[in-house]
Chains A and B, each alone.
Chain A
């Protein structure tokens, strides 16, 4: 069965600094990996995905994520954080289109 860990409940970063939100996964077979964001009083929104190909994937709002197969990680990154990036971030994994699993979420707070 698939599983996703987001080891940090909360990440605080100053505006303008780089940010990283960590995600590790466990799946049998090749993973499909995703990041979603949940802003206050708004629905979940897709940010980016890794299916195959380059290990560094770029997504919406300047976010990117790096797939590391040996470390089974898919960390979300952004070079320069904005206050408006403050939200709840979810990593998710599926195995060949089955058993879609979300992580518990990491709350990102960007301080002005």
Chain B
């Protein structure tokens, strides 16, 4: 079974620029998550989708971050404009159904550096 795919793996941008990350979950997984993991910290949930609907985006900085999952499959996370403090690894995860009582499968992450 193919795992969660993410691209790009690495991205370096200047502050105030825009950036987008892409995630393709495991086939058949209805729930998709985006996390931000700052160095030395645990992952922080940014947004959770169930199919193409948002379940939880309470910690998403909506003034600069946006995410979509238009067809209930792959998803994009965008930052516009980026700040220095956005430097982190952005993780995508998916789970089969029932959201948070099923285990999540994580992708390799995108490491973002904002200069």
Contact = CB atoms under 8 A, between A and B. Distances in A.
Interface of A: 4, 32, 34, 36, 43-46, 49, 51, 90, 92, 94, 97-105
Contact of B42 (A51, A94, A99, A102): A102
Given A43-B108, A44-B91, A51 B55 contact: no
Contacts, number: 57
Given A98-B55, A105-B41, A45 B100 contact: no
Contacts of B114: none
Interface of B: 3-4, 33, 35, 40-45, 48, 55-56, 58, 91, 93, 98-101, 103-109
A49 B103 contact: yes
B100 A32 contact: yes
A45 B106 contact: yes
A105 B101 contact: no
Given A90-B43, A100-B33, A46 B100 contact: no
